Amino acid sequence: MSTALVWFRRDLRLIDHPALHHAATRHARVIPVYIHAPHEEAPWQPGAASRWWLHHSLAALDTALRGQGSRLILRQGDSLNTLRQLLHETGAAAVYWNRLYEPAIIARDRALKTALHADGIHAESHQAALLLEPWTVLKSDQTPYQVFTPFWKACLQHLPPPAPLPIPALPAPEHWPDSLPLDALDLLPRIRWDAGLAAAWQVGEAGALAQLDRFCATGLMDYAQGRDWPGRAGVSRLSPHLHFGEISPRQVWTAVAMTCGGDPLSFQGAATFLREIGWREFAHHVLYHWPHTTDQPLQARFAAYPWRTDYAELLQAWQHGQTGYPLIDAGMRQLWHSGWMHNRVRMLVASFLVKNCRIPWQEGARWFWDTLVDADLASNSLGWQWTAGCGTDAAPYFRIFNPLRQAEQFDPDGAFVRQWLPAARSAGGTYPRPVIDFATSRAEALAGFERIKG
């Protein structure tokens, strides 16, 4: 029995952590490690809101580990070199981690595993972030799905998932290796714009579990209707917790099933909610099979779309919630203040940027990447391509949401706009006039789509 390193990445939890579980059951000593190496994720290293979340999530993980008689060792630098250094310092002979599916991380991990094996180190990775591995859900001709409904039907053949793993006993080494202080990772903003984030979230595994419990008790059964109203608490707000792996999709499935007391798929609210967890799966599977979709449209003809070229001012108005369309601006301010935006409003602001402003979807994706606490390369790329009409199972290009009608339908009492944009309603305020005429911009967008249709 020897010492093992458990390399934490975006699996910042103790429950249902296969790497931790296997290391702890097979080795006499376990050393949990986090290596800060954002350059290895370039060009998609975490944005400002994600870094804020990461800081607090690492702090929470260290606290949770200390509660189990262990601790989190923090380092920064190249992952391979840092692991080699730690293996050398601790005499460990094995490294365990859970897999991630972003293209840069897959390439890094493959090379790293080969190098560790060549060093004679036992290097072992596990499935933890998804319900099913992307290479296991394929059509009968062995190609990946591009349409969600048959994809999810195929997934359901392999589900429910196995029960989540419990927290293992964590045998500590006699001497702990040195750890950097968390502040040395420099994750928090220098200008403290993060008060709204701190007020909105309980970061960490305990917060994730509390949020899941709350949602199962109050929102799950009405989710099919409740999820469409941005002014009400009808959705789970689990996305940042899932992104950072503070909770696993297996745990979510299991909690939903327990709440239903039977097959969750036979309850409308639960089935609709699990289908959304299915969209998360789909996004990761799509990214795995088409890694270029972070920057390029899946449907190649969309690369020739006649985007506006002089859009700096318009983009800034959109980013700052100054478009003159209250629902759009309320959403963009919700994003800026809380690091999160309701899904319906994400679809609206994205449609507005891409279709009415004719600004490339990649600009919107980049802004979301920096400002969302749940910024996730798979879900963000899929969401933007879906809205632009150029991705898998995309919204038809001619569907252009009218923000005024959408407000009447989904925020009829104005609760959402009032919460995030109180000034929009007060007469004589400084609220801007619409930056773009909806009818004209819609016609221009449709003309642009006609040009690339063939």
Which tokens in the block code for residue 171? 């045998």
Q: Is 152 a catalytic residue?
A: no
Of residues 339-358, those binding ligand FAD (CB under 6 A): 343, 346-347, 350
Q: How far is the CB of 201 from ligand FAD (least distance, A)?
A: 12
Within 10 A of 25 (CB to CB), how many other CB atoms are there? Answer: 11
Active site residue 420: no
Distance CA 143, CA 139 (A): 5
Closest distance of CB 348 from ligand FAD, Å = 9
Which residue of the chain is nearest ligand FAD when measured via CB?
383
Residue 174: how many other CB atoms lie within 10 Å? 6
Question: Is residue 232 close enough to count as binding ligand FAD by CB under 6 A?
Answer: no
Which burial class, exposed, middle or buried, applies to 263 when counting CB atoms under 10 A from its CB (0-12, 13-18, 19+)?
exposed
In the range 167-206, which residues lie near ligand FAD by CB under 6 A?
none
Contact at 8 Å (CB) between 49 and 103? no
Name the phi and psi angles at 399, rounded to 5.
-85, 105
CB 23 within 8 A of CB 94: yes
280 lies in the binding site for ligand FAD (CB under 6 A): yes
Tell me if 372 contacts ligand FAD by CB under 6 A.
Answer: yes
Choose the stretch contacting ligand FAD; rule: CB under 6 A; options: 18-26, 67-75, 108-116, 229-237.
Answer: 229-237
Whether 7 is catalytic = no
Query: Binding residue for ligand FAD (CB under 6 A) from 248, 356, 387, 441?
Result: 387
Q: Please, are residues 40 and 93 in contact by the beta-carbon 8 Å criterion?
A: no
From candidates 283, 298, 332, 354, binder to ligand FAD by CB under 6 A? 283
Tokens (6 digits) for 182: 């968390």
- Residue 173 phi, psi dihedral angles, 5° rounding: -75, 165
Residue type (1 letter), 92? A
Q: Considering all CA atoms of the chain, what is the largest pairwise distance in Å, rounded to the nearest integer?
A: 74
Tell me which of 10, 22, 36, 237 binds ligand FAD, using CB under 6 A.
237
The pattern of x and - marking residues 240 through 269 that bind ligand FAD according to CB under 6 A reads --xx--------------------------
Return the DSSP state at 355. I
Q: Which is nearer to ligand FAD, 339 or 448 (CB)?
A: 339
Size of the site for ligand FAD (CB under 6 A): 28
In the bound complex, what is the minimum distance in angstroms from residue 181's beta carbon to ligand FAD?
A: 30
Instruction: Quote the CA–CA distance of 134 and 118 in Å, as a whole number.
Output: 27
CA dist 245 and 11 (Å) reads 4
Stretch that binds ligand FAD, among 169-177, 230-238, 290-298, 407-415 (CB under 6 A): 230-238
Task: Give yes or no: 380 in active site.
Answer: no
Shorter beta-carbon distance to ligand FAD: residue 274 or 436: 274
- Look-up of token digits 């006699």: 174
Residues contributing to the site for ligand FAD (CB under 6 A): 227, 235-239, 242-243, 276-277, 279-280, 283, 343, 346-347, 350, 368, 372, 374-376, 379-380, 382-384, 387
Q: Which residues are catalytic?
A: 276, 279, 307, 343, 361, 384
